[in-house]
């Protein structure tokens, strides 16, 4: 096994995104860092600021505000809601002024989709274009592209079984306990003549699920959003990847 692969499997990390409408100075960043110490923080990004949004999706009670964003990587898993409450108390701000989202969070995905569409619409307006009628597009270009080999069929099933086998191996390893004074030395017991069932032979422990979040479900962060526009009788398509929308400029 290559050392890079071994380290990737042993050293797990968990990513979260902190959003707030409260400006984050050095004092508040210090409070955030102190509040997440128990989760073994691995990295904490500098705060990034979005442009003023008329109706931020994460803050429905707020009108026309900038959003400050901090990405954090933890060595221990945490509940996004519990962390949100801990940070709210640490910062001394109202509950609806801060949001903590985990990867592939539905609200975060809606925000990414809305920002992607807003960005494409603004760019199209600068080009003198307008939205094209969907009925003029028989191929429905705005629909997500689907590779059948990634989502179903034999190839997908092999990856799925391999992924499940890897999860099973990781759980077995995590549950191992070396008792200081074992009552039964099971390793010294006679071996059975009946071979153990090796389990399914389809899939390997190296199995990876294509376009999935850390939980194994489909990852909206890998989506590409498309919109159809027209200008001077010509129809064309604009596209934005979810990953590029997530990268907020400082």
The tens digit of pLDDT for each residue in 151-199 reads 677 877 888 888 888 888 877 776 766 655 555 555 555 555 555 555 4
Taken in order of first residue, the domains within the chain and their CATH numbers are: 3-103 (3.30.70), 109-175+198-246 (no CATH)
Report helix, strand or coil for 116.
Answer: helix
Token pair listed for 225? 């959003």
Q: What is the pTM of this model?
A: 0.56
Token pair listed for 107? 């609200």
Query: Rounded distance, CA 111 to CA 105, Å?
Result: 10
The tens digit of pLDDT for each residue in 72-85 reads 999 988 989 999 99
- Using N-to-C axis directions, what is the helix angle for 26-35 and 80-91, rounded to 10°? 140
Instruction: Calculate the CA 56 to chain-centre distance.
Output: 20
Give helix then strand counts, H and E, for the chain.
7, 8
């Amino acid at each position: 096994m290559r050392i890079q692969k071994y380290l990737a499997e042993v050293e797990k990390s968990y990513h979260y995104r902190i959003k707030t409408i409260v400006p984050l100075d050095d004092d508040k960043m210090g409070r955030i860092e102190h509040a997440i110490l128990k989760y073994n923080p691995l990295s904490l990004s500098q705060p990034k600021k979005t442009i003023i949004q008329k109706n931020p999706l994460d803050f429905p009670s707020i009108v026309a505000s900038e959003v400050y964003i901090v990405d954090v990587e933890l060595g221990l898993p945490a509940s996004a809601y519990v962390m949100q409450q801990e940070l709210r108390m640490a910062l001394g701000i109202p509950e609806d002024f801060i949001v903590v989202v985990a990867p592939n969070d539905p609200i975060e995905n809606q925000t990414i989709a809305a920002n992607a569409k807003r960005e494409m619409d603004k760019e199209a307006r600068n080009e003198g274009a307008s939205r094209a009628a969907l009925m003029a597009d028989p191929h429905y270009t705005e629909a997500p592209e689907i590779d059948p080999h990634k989502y179903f069929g034999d190839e997908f099933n092999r990856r799925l079984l391999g992924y499940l086998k890897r999860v099973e191996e990781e759980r077995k390893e995590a549950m191992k306990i070396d008792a200081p004074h074992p009552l039964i030395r099971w390793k010294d017991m006679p071996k059975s003549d009946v071979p153990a069932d090796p389990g399914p032979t389809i899939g390997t422990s190296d199995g990876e699920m294509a376009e999935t979040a850390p939980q194994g479900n489909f990852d909206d962060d890998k989506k590409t959003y498309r919109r159809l526009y027209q200008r001077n009788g010509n129809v064309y398509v604009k596209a934005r990847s979810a990953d590029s929308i997530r990268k907020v400029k400082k």
